[in-house]
Structure 1
Amino acid sequence: MKRKFLFVVAITFLLVGMTTNVMAEGTEKNNDNAEKFKIPSSVLDISQDNTYPNPTQDLPYLQPSKLTQELIESADIDIENPNLIRILNESAIQTTPLAIGYRATIYLGQWPLNYESSETSTNWEYEKVNTNFFDNRGGKAPYKIHYKQEMQKIVRGGLTAEIQDADDVKKMMLIEAAKKSKLPLSFSTIIGGGTKKDQVYNVPPKKLGYLYAYAPAVNEKGKVTYGEVYLVLKGSKKFIVVKNVTHQGIGAWIPVQDHVSYGFLVTDTPR
């Protein structure tokens, strides 16, 4: 009895220790992600100042219907493509327990089924969008300059290589990158001409001052899984079979919407 009691105690301590380690690792991972995508002080939100109102980017995620969820769970490969889920949501299948010997196989086409992210990172100076300049070499006191967007600027992202069903792949990559970074992402964003911020940058006497503005972006890298999708009806059963599965690596740049990164340079000579 004593030996059995000691065994139970040992197992209990082991399980508690394992749970604590898992929780600690999860917390550490979440903290690392939060720090990785923390917005630097040099990056400001211009959503309230932007003279061009960018539409809110709704993530193209669809909630599967009950039937769609059953079909997805019947496949041996994860199905996350919003367009394929939409088609399955719009489908209706009526079966009967008396349909003995009934069998049908319906080819739904080749699809990018899911996207698996391997790396998500940020480039806060992805594309230069503006330069404000003042020559204070003849001045005797500091001169204050601030950001003013001289011209409207369209910032576009995109896939780093050609790939089949690019639009579907971009949607899945956008969902994953936004989920990991918690940033407002869009493959296209616009900074309107005349957009301003109140932050002041001082150009000392005898110097030239350059205030550079950059659009940030997220770099997403991972793997897309393709497959031929078949809907199989067999008697009263219905399920999905995926054949000829292939994988392809892909990357994408996805701009951060309505955010600008600033860099201030003081120099003796023109740049």
Structure 2
Amino acid sequence: MKKFTAILLSMVFLLSFFTPALAGKKAEPPQKEAKYAIPNSVMNITKENTYPNPTEDLPFLQPSELAKELIDSSRVKIENPDLIRMLNETSINSTPFAIGYRAIVYLGEWPLSYESAETSPNWEFQKINTNYYDNRGGTAPYKIHYVQEQQKVVRGGLTAKIKNAPDVQKMMLLTAAKKTGLPLAFETVIGAGTKKDQIYNIQPKRLGYLYGYAPAINEKGKVTYGEVYLMLKGNKKMIVVKNVTSQGIGAWIPIQDHVSFGFVSSERPR
């Protein structure tokens, strides 16, 4: 027993010796790689933009208690905000004398949900501006900065024709914005005269070109369609979806109020 006590005391002593040393070093959480980190060449022009873009705010519509009950009763996922809004406006009064009552209401064919397969940025989606200066006759570096020469409208859209395109666009926009955390819109405008103070030097005997690009997100995935029925059977109410189909779809969604810059210096005109 004495021998066991001595071993136990030794272990306690060793633990008290190592604990302060270990306590001084906190375990660092693993660094998460930002999948959609904005490169240094891409700058936010929200404050500088001479055209105030409206914020594309499409929050996920919260279903009412009845709408949630109906959505949960469906075997097919329902995420379409417009369909959820319609279900939110639906009112069904239950009655204790509904035994034997049965009704089926056809609500139409709807795009029900969108499942994302790939979300990738293209920082040079569309060229929107070129600032140029010829310093071949100069003796000192010339400083050039971005000035938008003309107003530019940048539009995205679906990559193929599809039924109920506006509904599909809304679901794709919601998904892409949530995945990237970026301000996305299917249309963004860069106003004429928009400037940025970032300086680029053009050395003597050279020409300088400062290109401006509108970045965008390329969203690809699958949209699910179905014929939606509201079924009332006694006191029970449920959503039944028939003739379910799926279709692959892609979209380009511009990143609002952002410009990607590319500077090129050369001895000859480009």
TM-score between the two structures when normalised by the length of structure 1: 0.88
Q: Distance in 1 between matches of 2:156 and 2:61?
A: 23
Q: State the partner residue of 1:128.
A: 127
Greater alpha carbon shift after TM alignment, 54-63 vs 107-116: 54-63
Q: How many residues align?
A: 242
Aligned counterparts of 1:174 and 1:214: Cα–Cα separation in 2: 21
Task: Look up the equivalent residue of 2:157 and give its one-letter code.
Answer: G
- Alpha-carbon shift at residue 43 of structure 1 (Å): 0.4
Which segments of 5 or more consecutive residues in structure 2 lack a partner in the other structure?
1-28
Corresponding residue for 1:89? Answer: 88
- Give deviations 1:101-140, integer Å, cap 9, x for gaps: 0000000000000000000000000000000000000000
Q: Which letter does structure 1 place at the counterpart of 2:223? A: V
Partner of 1:68: 67
Query: The residue matched to 1:31 in structure 2 has which SS?
Result: coil
In structure 2, the residue corresponding to 1:49 is in which secondary structure? coil
- Counterpart for residue 168 of structure 2: 169
**Distance between the aligned counterparts of 1:167 and 1:232, measured in 2?**
27
AA in 1 matched with 2:114: Y
Measured on the aligned residues, the alpha-carbon RMSD in Å equals 1.2
Q: Using the TM superposition, give the Cα deviation of residue 98 of structure 1 relative to its aligned residue in structure 2, in angstroms.
A: 2.2
**Paired residues for 1:121-200 under 5 Å:** 121-200=120-199
Report the alpha carbon displacement of residue 75 of structure 1 after superposing the two structures with TM.
0.1
Q: Measure, in 1, the Cα distance between the counterparts of 2:180 and 2:267.
A: 39
Which residue identity lines up with residue 89 of structure 1 in the other structure? Answer: N
Structure 1: 4+ residue segments shifted above 6 A: none
- Cα distance in 2 for residues equivalent to 1:50 and 1:135: 27
1:229-248 Cα offsets, whole Å, 9 max, x none, are 00000000000000000000
Matched-pair contact (CA < 8 Å) for 1:128–1:215 = yes
Q: Secondary structure at the match of 2:253?
A: strand
Letter of the structure 2 residue corresponding to residue 119 of structure 1:
E
Answer whether contact 1:145 1:202 (CA < 8 A) is retained: yes
Q: Does 1:100 align with 2:67?
A: no
Name the amino acid aligned to 1:241.
V
How much has 1:61 moved relative to structure 2? 2.3
Q: Which residue of 2 aligns with 1:205?
A: 204
- Does the CA contact (< 8 Å) of 1:118 and 1:221 recur in 2? yes
Report what 1:11 is aligned to: none
**Superposed displacement of residue 31, structure 1:** 2.7
CA distance in 1, matches of 2:249, 2:233: 37
Paired with 2:204 and 2:269, the residues of 1 have a C-alpha distance of 15
- State the shift of 1:173 in Å: 0.1
Q: Deviations over 1:118-166 (max 9, x none)?
A: 0000000000000000000000000000000000000000000000000
Q: Distance in 1 between matches of 2:41 and 2:172?
A: 27
Deviates more, 1:57-66 or 1:208-217: 57-66
1:31 is aligned with what amino acid? K
Matched-pair identity in %? 69
SS at match of 2:100: coil
Name the structure 2 match of 1:249: 248
Gaps of 5+ in 1: 1-26
SS at match of 2:147: coil
Max Rg structure: 2
| One-letter amino acid of the structure 1 residue matched with residue 57 of structure 2 | D
Alpha-carbon contact 1:60-1:82 (below 8 Å) kept: no
- Letter matched to residue 38 of structure 1: A
What amino acid is the match of 2:48?
D
Give the equivalent residue in structure 2 for 1:31. 32
Hey, which of these two has a bigger chunk of helix by percent? 1
Distance (Å, rounded) in 2 between the aligned partners of 1:31 and 1:174: 24
Contact 1:138 1:206 in 2 (8 A): yes
Instruction: Output one character per residue of 1:159-213: Cα deviation in whole Å (capped at 9) or x when no partner.
Output: 0000000000000000000000000000000000000000100000000000000
Give the Cα separation in 2 of the matches to 1:52 and 1:158.
21
Secondary structure at the counterpart of residue 79 of structure 1: coil
**How far apart, CA to CA, are the structure 2 residues paired with 1:117 and 1:59?**
17
